[in-house]
Amino acid sequence: MSEQPTPPQRRRGFRGYIGALTALAFTLALAACTQNVVAQRLVPVADGLRQPVVITNAGDERLFVAEQSGAVRIVSGGELLREPFLDLSGELSTGGERGLLGLAFPADYQATGRFYVYYTGDGGQTVLSRFTVTPGNPDRADPESEEVLLTQAQPYSNHNGGQIVFGPDGYLYVGLGDGGSGGDPQGNGQDLGTFLGKLLRLDVSGDTGYTVPSDNPFVDRDGALPEIWAYGLRNPWRFSFDRGTGDLYIADVGQEAYEEVNFTPAGTGGGLNYGWKLMEGLHCYAASSCDQAGLTLPVLEYPHGPQWGTSITGGYVYRGADVPALQGNYVFADFVSGRVWSTSAADGWAPRPLFETGFNVSTFGEDAAGELYVAAYDSGMIYRVGQ
């Protein structure tokens, strides 16, 4: 998940001049936008949760919240239900960035009762599984129904990724980190022979297992895993599709200097290389120069520092009705600083400050109507973004 605060590290000299200009540009953009901050408020929705890391919906009025410790909880009618929807706490590794990290419901969930989770297994491995709801009880999953679809060994305990999302095409997209440690020591981000540091695209519509969509970009490439849709990611901590356009937004946590937002317009197709570890943000990583040919660079970056933070949390393009001023804007935050911004292509991707939460923003979520929610990792509160 998003990385915890770490002691300041010396930045490499080659970044100095360009990095200073970038920081200055961001500072000026932030200052320019400060006078136009959209008045927002956070409306409490639920409390009593333990380290919430996922907020999602299943097509009805309920919110499903995944706790990193292993439980999936339901918020219904403004109340947190006492019994968990699913409890995997006895099956997974937790601590640091491990735990229950992903939860997704397909569009046909109300008919099939099948849903998907992503967690760290008791051996430290990444696990993608399918479960079904208990017949006759929509608020309780069948814990014995697990079907493991995919596992991936995790060489280190961090950079576990964890987001799983159904795209507009009905396929399941799965985001994995680069395997951990620092600086991608195994070179996983650029290695098409591993799932680590990748965005996968799977067809899970069959009765069992999964299949690979025939138009995945590496289906016919020797040495490449056909499940891969995109690569060059360090630790994608939350990605989402704009429910209005189908555009893809990926927030990728940086190494020691920059956080980034990657934007992919709908219909672009797969095979994109987002750059890690050749690049960190818009800057060459661990080299004075690098070959940027063929890379898809971020549309927005921000430098590490007390004014911004050190660990991005991706959000959503707002498509709800409660906050008209946010319509069509992508909302994101920093886990460490608790600051929340919005941005859009129409504004040249300049970040616009929305508010300072005062808590660790671990995730955002949408309800069935497109209203936006945010989780406080430290206090266990869920809030709705209002005006």
Three-class HEC string of the chain? CCCCCCCCCCCCHHHHHHHHHHHHHHHHHHHHHHCCCCCCEEEEEECCCCCEEEEECCCCCCEEEEECCCEEEEEECCEECCCCCEECCCCECCECCECEEEEECCCCHHHHCEEEEEEEECCCCEEEEEEEEECCEEEEEEEEEEEEEEEECCCCCCCCCCCEEECCCCCEEEECCCCCCCCCCCCHHHCCCCCCCEEEEEECCCCCCCECCCCCCCCCCCCCCCCEEEECCCCEEEEEECCCCCCEEEEECCCCCEEEEEEECCCCCCCEECCCCCEECCEECCCCCCCCCCECCCCEEEECECCCECCEEEEEECCCCCCHHHCCCEEEEECCCCEEEEECHHHCCCCEEEEECCCCEEEEEECCCCCEEEEECCCCCEEEEEC
Q: Is residue 1 part of a domain?
A: no
Q: Is residue 367 part of a domain?
A: yes
Q: Is residue 126 part of a domain?
A: no
CA dihedral 68, 74, 78, 80 (to 10 degrees): -70
Q: Could you tell me if 304 and 235 are in contact, meaning their C-beta atoms sit under 8 angstroms apart? A: no
pLDDT of 31 reads 40
pLDDT of 314 reads 99
The upper half-sphere exposure of residue 387, i.e. CA atoms within 13 Å in the direction of its Cβ, equals 14
Q: Could you tell me if 44 and 381 are in contact, meaning their C-beta atoms sit under 8 angstroms apart? A: yes
pLDDT of 161 reads 98
| Residue given tokens 């309780």 in the structure block | 140
User: Alpha carbon of 144 to those of 27, 131, 181, 218, 386: distances in Å?
Assistant: 52, 8, 34, 35, 39
Q: Is residue 103 part of a domain?
A: no
Cα(99)–Cα(162) distance, rounded to whole angstroms? 9
Range of the domain at 364: 15-46+305-387
pLDDT of 332 reads 99
Cα(75)–Cα(136) distance, rounded to whole angstroms? 19
The count of structural domains within the chain is 1
Q: Own/partner pairs for 33-39, CB < 8 Å, 24+ apart?
A: 33/350, 33/351, 33/352, 33/353, 34/353, 36/352, 37/352, 37/353, 37/354, 37/355, 38/323, 38/325, 38/326, 38/342, 38/352, 38/354, 38/387, 39/387
Q: Is residue 366 part of a domain?
A: yes
Q: pTM here?
A: 0.91
CA dihedral 130, 70, 379, 138 (to 10 degrees): 50
pLDDT of 40 reads 74
Q: Is residue 32 part of a domain?
A: yes
pLDDT of 235 reads 99
Cα(29)–Cα(116) distance, rounded to whole angstroms? 40
pLDDT of 38 reads 55
pLDDT-flagged residues of the chain (< 70): 1-39
Q: Is residue 359 part of a domain?
A: yes
On the question of a cis peptide bond just before residue 198, with omega within 30 degrees of 0, the verdict is no
Q: Is residue 169 part of a domain?
A: no
